[in-house]
Structure 1
Amino acid sequence: MKRILFLIMFAGVSCNALAATVLPLSAAQLQQMQVQWGPLQAQNKGLSASYPAEVVLPPTQTRVVTAAQGGLITQLSASVGDMVKQGQVIGQLSSPDLVALQSGYLQSDTQARLQAQALKRDQALFQDGIIAQRRLQETQSAYETSQALMHEHKQTLQLAGMSERQIQQLAQKRTMQNGMAIIAPINGQIIEQQQAVGARVDMATPIYTISNPKPLWLMIQVPLAQAQRLKPGNMVRLPKQHLSANIDTVLRQLNKNNQTTQVRASISQGAEQLSVGQIVEVALVENTAQASFTVPRSAVARQGEQAVIFVQQAKGIAVTPVKIVLEQDQQLIVQAALHGNERIAVQGVAALKGHWLGLGGE
């Protein structure tokens, strides 16, 4: 009979329970209900709960510096951890193969010069009618062949590490060098040194690995329901580091074990505060006009789909509707029309809910 009466009372008040916004309870009643109060903790504006993220170096920002030719490493002027600039000389390589390449280029360059002179001469003779057109065509063909061979040898020298200026000096001074500079291909930090001074290396042997630490990626593990509300361009924040990043993409591959997906964000400004492989906490930024607050799970009472908290006021206890943004462990993040300096009930909430629904109290 008591159970039937309870259900009847519950049904009678549930329809108008939300209309009751203030409970006029005395201090004695609150003490009898064992209600305890705590401060309302405001969230950073627009931030959701924190999610774990791994700091990752984009693969496009790493270069391996290799030996352009086989030879002997005679000098290395940079070490692991050093920052280098694109085009900076970071070592020297002595290579007998380079001498042979230069010799081949000089020979082809000389031949191209001779063929250019022969073509000029035959063009003049043809105009004077001294030689036949066939002779001019043969000279023209020999000239074009010599030019192609010269450019082939020049390109080989460029692949071997010689700059355009060095090749021009070689053609002018006809003086060969047996050493070549090891050049940094990008701005960045040397993260690995694979060879030492005095090592003999073959062509394409790795010498250094250089990485540019800007920007970095944040691979964020986000619950599927939250990830579906995100899109490229949204901002995320690292509250502890006071940094911001922008979302690049939301991966549509779900982790079936924990029902999360990865969200990738890029960070440039302040990236030097982070280390590759570091695990950080990242908060998503939500565009909302209402303030967000962190409350204990025990402070929230639910009535159907409605969630409320009980706010201490001078005239009584205000039953305040809240929107639950995220549930995490023993804390909830909620949105509510509050200022942030209020005190809320953190214990005795079940008794307050019963009084609110007319199921108890005096």
Structure 2
Amino acid sequence: MFFRWFHKMFTMYTFYVDGVYIIVYAVNIMKYADFKRQPLFWNGMAMLVLTVSMIPLVFLDTRTLFGVNLWIKPIKFSLSLGIYSFSTIWILQRFLADWRHRSKTQIALTITSAIEIILITWQAARGEASHFNVSSTWNQVVFSIMGTSISIFWLFHLGIIFPILKQKQMATSVRESLLWGLTIAGFGMIIGFFMTQPRPEQLELMQKGIFQTSGGHSFGTGEQGSGLFFFGWSTVIGDMRVPHFFGMHVMQVFFVLAAYLLQWKESAEQKIVVRIIGILILSMNVMMVIQTLWGFSIFSYHPSFTPSYAIILLILFSLGIRLFSIPKISEPEVTV
């Protein structure tokens, strides 16, 4: 069943080069003609180009900030924004082609994400932190602009939820997959505001006229340690970047699920399974936030949280197997 779906989602092209057959799979999500005029698609392409262009800088520019190469952060953000752009344009083009606010939403998401990555990259080039940095007037302005732009980005992201809610022509399981993905991503974004709140010791310094940092991603006492490779997430104390990232990018899992469900005629069991998956993943994200606020790393064993994650992941794995094994009838055409 999975392989039949795989061949529906991908087109195989075979090339004969230097005596070797090369097989290339092209994703059948949208045709180029469908999205070549979409701002969010070109935003994704720009982020992809920027990501690739910055990779050599990691090796050429050995400067570090807080023990991490300066270019790692803009690479992470451009990659994240690129993935978001490509997945969101699929939603807008595939399901909301006639939505009157589609173009405005794309433009808003493109402009705000561009502002974000330009400032992050510029600060990296200057050897300065982009987030939580209030050590000078310029750094305060940068941090303020970034906070404003990402807030606007979040509002326009949430705006996509409402027209999806109104879509009655698509299958319920497909619509709920999209809604769960968009909603949990919105929750993942708002988690970032926990990080912007100044800590008591920072407020105390500010009252003395000393401005250095305002907020931070670390929660708990002690050193955060070396962190995970590339991501830099702490394995010692709470790090709010983990639930923030998880919430934002589990959205793509739900979109893949929606693309899979599009191929088949809906069943009552599919709707139930999708709903349970959404509840479990949102619960997991909320638990991550609570654990982080309590000062415990998600990557360190905790007697309450770690077994809970294990149980949720086991249930999700079982539900995934069940979803792929449910007898299906091909849906020849879906009109949305």
TM value normalised by structure 2: 0.21
Higher strand share: 1
Structure label with greater radius of gyration? 1
Higher helix share: 2
